[in-house]
Amino acid sequence: MGLPYSTEKVLGWRSRYEAMLRWHERCESCHKDGRCTSTSDALDFILAFLVFCYHLSDFVVETGGIERETIDDLITNNTHMRICRDVCLRVKHHTISKKKSVEKTVDIDWNIGREYYPWPDGTEGWRFFLIADDILDPMIVVRGCVNFWKELVASGVLQEPTNPFRRTG
């Protein structure tokens, strides 16, 4: 039987959007001035963010009043979200193999690497890079994805989910 409401679903896309923003904060917490401050956490948080971020599209279709084709077109027209989709699908499934996914990919053979880097101020450390048709800072991709969703939410296109616990009167 279960409960009438499940915590992760009760506010529809809005609860998953807010969780995606928290994953973004975790990513940022591992980076200062472009430097990686915790290599194991940084990689885990970046990958978790990208998986969570792309799957937010499922929630906006189910609870936000937007059609699958519409959100897919918006994602396809945004480079950061296309890279997000590529990373998400391969992290989740190991290989991107569905013809529809392969046709929309930026780089089916993307890579994430870590390199030792001597910073201009004389300090040393690590930084991550993402190769997806070009060499990118994965945090630029993360921030681009956050901006994509913030702009979509601000546009008013998504229907706000109702809060069954909101008090009235």
Q: Is 162:30 a contact under the CB 8 Å cutoff?
A: no
The answer to whether residue 133 sits within a structural domain is: yes
The answer to whether residue 103 sits within a structural domain is: yes
Residues 51, 52, 54: CA angle, nearest 5 degrees: 70
Residue 7 carries which side chain, given as an amino acid letter?
Answer: T
The answer to whether residue 45 sits within a structural domain is: yes
Counted domains in the chain: 1
Q: What are phi and psi of 84, to 5 degrees?
A: -55, -45
The answer to whether residue 60 sits within a structural domain is: yes
Q: What does the alpha-carbon distance between residue 60 and residue 109 come to, in Å, rounded to a whole number?
A: 28
Q: What does the alpha-carbon distance between residue 104 and residue 121 come to, in Å, rounded to a whole number?
A: 41
Q: Is 155:130 a contact under the CB 8 Å cutoff?
A: no
The answer to whether residue 134 sits within a structural domain is: yes
5 versus 51: which is more confidently predicted? 51
CA torsion, points 96, 109, 50, 46, in degrees to nearest 10?
Answer: 140
Three-state secondary-structure class, residue 5: coil
Q: What does the alpha-carbon distance between residue 11 and residue 147 come to, in Å, rounded to a whole number?
A: 21
Domain extent for 107 = 12-154
The answer to whether residue 169 sits within a structural domain is: no
Taking only the tens place, the pLDDT of each residue in 118-167 is 777 777 677 777 777 777 888 999 999 999 999 999 999 988 877 766 77
Give the pLDDT mean for 36-44.
Answer: 79
Residue 149's CB: how many other CB atoms inside 10 A? 20
The answer to whether residue 61 sits within a structural domain is: yes
The answer to whether residue 7 sits within a structural domain is: no
Give the pLDDT mean for 93-102.
Answer: 54
Q: What does the alpha-carbon distance between residue 129 and residue 140 come to, in Å, rounded to a whole number?
A: 10
Taking only the tens place, the pLDDT of each residue in 51-90 is 999 999 999 999 888 999 999 999 999 999 998 988 888 7
The per-residue pLDDT for 1 is 62
